[in-house]
């Protein structure tokens, strides 16, 4: 039976890898998720046949209850809330790995010191990923202030907590001391909380990806400790994918992972911005419609504001109306637009926007000087020229969409607030920029109606 289980685990690994490969393209992403889902189902089912397994009733109850909760949550969650859902589910994986480590260490039955070390490391990483993901969820959900939460000597305190966690882990390694086990996990969980609090909401996508990688590593370590091939493979794949994604996102923001984790990015700093010259210039909706109607090329730049307003369907309708008038319409999608990679792509695909109309930063930037109108919908930091010109700005050096180089810029925005980075957007004050204030869905709908009347 063990040989059959190992063959099934090998098939699971193959399906995971195929699924991950297919997720790399929007065309095949849906089928990739299905493949990975079947792989997970296979791994769960064959594990029930592992020799010497007990407590079947409890495991079945847990699987059924967890599946029902996940099904209901997935059906109800809005696309705008998907990042925090991913954050909490990532955290659950880390928490599960930590729970496995706690049980194995409490039993004290691991056969050699090498496996004990792996269990301790997996428990430490899994606990950090769990508690850190909970804080990330809270920041994205608005339960916790999304600005960095800092206080004096915070980094020193965090270092003390981390050293305490490692010290408790070392004590568990040298001697089986039952009361040291809860101290180890309390310190590990506390470090995850303290490490995430000083990180601003604008960096949460990178943090979620990092914790995803940590969850994979924790599962992989526990797989080695328990000699479970499925956990080793799944953890390794998740850890590697999460690490690559984290590095890619950090590169897209032109910032180091160290700066993201310890830089308190997004904290209000007096004197960190230069004064924006000029004033915000609003435009009448009918005038904006005329500007769009008689343009040769329009580039639409979606941001999180579009997601919040659930305006993607009206934006697609706007695209259709402009297409019928012979206007060339393209979409510029920044790598970190929204709150997670691919967020804007998924929203636009959901609304039926053809994939060939979506262009990434490197593809679309050379086209802005020849663009008649750039329509910015709820995007902020990713179109801020300060990233190119203002050396004192916190976002200086971050690759941005060169919207300001268009002939005209229309910005749909709910209010005059700042972006996640907490800095003023110099684009809004440019001579060629006009502001359309209001809900993105409502404004897009009114633009469509105005265009149809022309």
**CB-based contact 47:9 (threshold 8 Å):** no
Q: Tokens at residue 224, please?
A: 């080695």
**Residues annotated as catalytic (active site), given as ranges:** 381
Distance separating alpha carbons of residues 454 and 450, to the nearest angstrom: 7
Q: Tokens at residue 383, please?
A: 């179109």
Distance separating alpha carbons of residues 219 and 123, to the nearest angstrom: 9
Classify residue 62 as exposed, middle or buried by CB count within 10 Å of its CB (0-12, 13-18, 19+).
exposed
CA dihedral sign, ordered 396, 368, 411, 329: negative
Distance separating alpha carbons of residues 49 and 270, to the nearest angstrom: 62
- State how far the alpha carbon of 299 is from the alpha carbons of 8, 50, 405, 428, in Å: 49, 56, 12, 17
252-273 burial by CB neighbour count: b if 16+ within 10 A, else e?
A: bbebebeebbebbbbbeeeeeb
Q: In whole angstroms, how large is the CA radius of gyration of the chain?
A: 25
């Amino acid at each position: 039976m063990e040989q059959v289980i190992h063959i099934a685990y090998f098939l699971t690994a193959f399906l995971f890898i195929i699924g991950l490969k297919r997720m790399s393209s929007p065309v095949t992403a849906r089928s990739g998720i299905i493949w990975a889902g079947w792989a997970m189902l296979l791994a769960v089912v064959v594990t029930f046949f592992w020799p010497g397994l007990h407590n079947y009733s409890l495991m079945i109850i847990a699987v059924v209850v967890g599946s029902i909760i996940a099904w209901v949550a997935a059906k109800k969650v809005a696309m705008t809330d998907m990042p925090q859902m991913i954050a909490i589910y990532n955290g659950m994986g880390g928490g599960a790995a930590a729970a496995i480590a706690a049980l194995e260490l409490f039993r004290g039955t691991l056969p050699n010191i090498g496996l004990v070390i792996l269990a301790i490391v997996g428990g430490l990483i899994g606990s950090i990923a769990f508690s850190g993901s909970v804080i990330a969820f809270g920041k994205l959900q608005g339960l916790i202030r999304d600005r960095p939460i800092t206080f004096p000597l915070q980094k020193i305190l965090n270092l003390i907590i981390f050293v305490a966690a490692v010290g408790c882990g070392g004590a568990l390694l040298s001697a089986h001391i039952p009361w040291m086990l809860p101290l180890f996990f309390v310190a590990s969980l506390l470090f995850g909380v303290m490490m995430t609090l000083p990180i601003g909401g604008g960096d949460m996508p990178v943090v979620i990806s990092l914790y995803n990688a940590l969850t994979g590593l924790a599962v992989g370590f526990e797989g080695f400790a328990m000699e479970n091939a499925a956990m080793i493979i799944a953890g390794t794949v998740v850890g590697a994918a999460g690490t690559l994604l984290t590095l890619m996102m950090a590169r897209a923001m032109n910032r180091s992972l160290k700066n993201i984790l310890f830089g308190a990015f997004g904290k209000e700093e007096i004197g960190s911005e230069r004064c924006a010259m000029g004033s915000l210039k609003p435009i009448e909706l009918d005038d904006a419609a005329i500007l769009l109607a008689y343009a040769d090329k329009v580039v639409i730049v979606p941001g999180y504001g579009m997601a919040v307003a659930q305006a993607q369907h009206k934006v697609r309708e706007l695209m259709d109306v402009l297409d019928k008038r012979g206007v060339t319409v393209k979409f510029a999608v920044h790598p970190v637009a929204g709150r997670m990679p691919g967020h804007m792509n998924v929203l636009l695909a959901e609304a039926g926007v053809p994939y060939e109309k979506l262009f990434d930063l490197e593809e679309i930037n050379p086209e802005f000087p020849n663009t008649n109108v750039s329509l910015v919908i709820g995007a902020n930091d990713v179109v801020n020229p300060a990233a190119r010109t203002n050396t004192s700005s916190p976002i200086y050096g971050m690759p941005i969409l060169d919207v300001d180089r268009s002939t005209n810029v229309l910005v749909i925005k709910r209010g005059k607030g700042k972006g996640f980075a907490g800095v003023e957007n110099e684009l809004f004050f440019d001579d060629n920029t006009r502001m359309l204030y209001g809900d993105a869905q409502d404004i897009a709908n009114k633009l469509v109606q105005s265009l149809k009347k022309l």
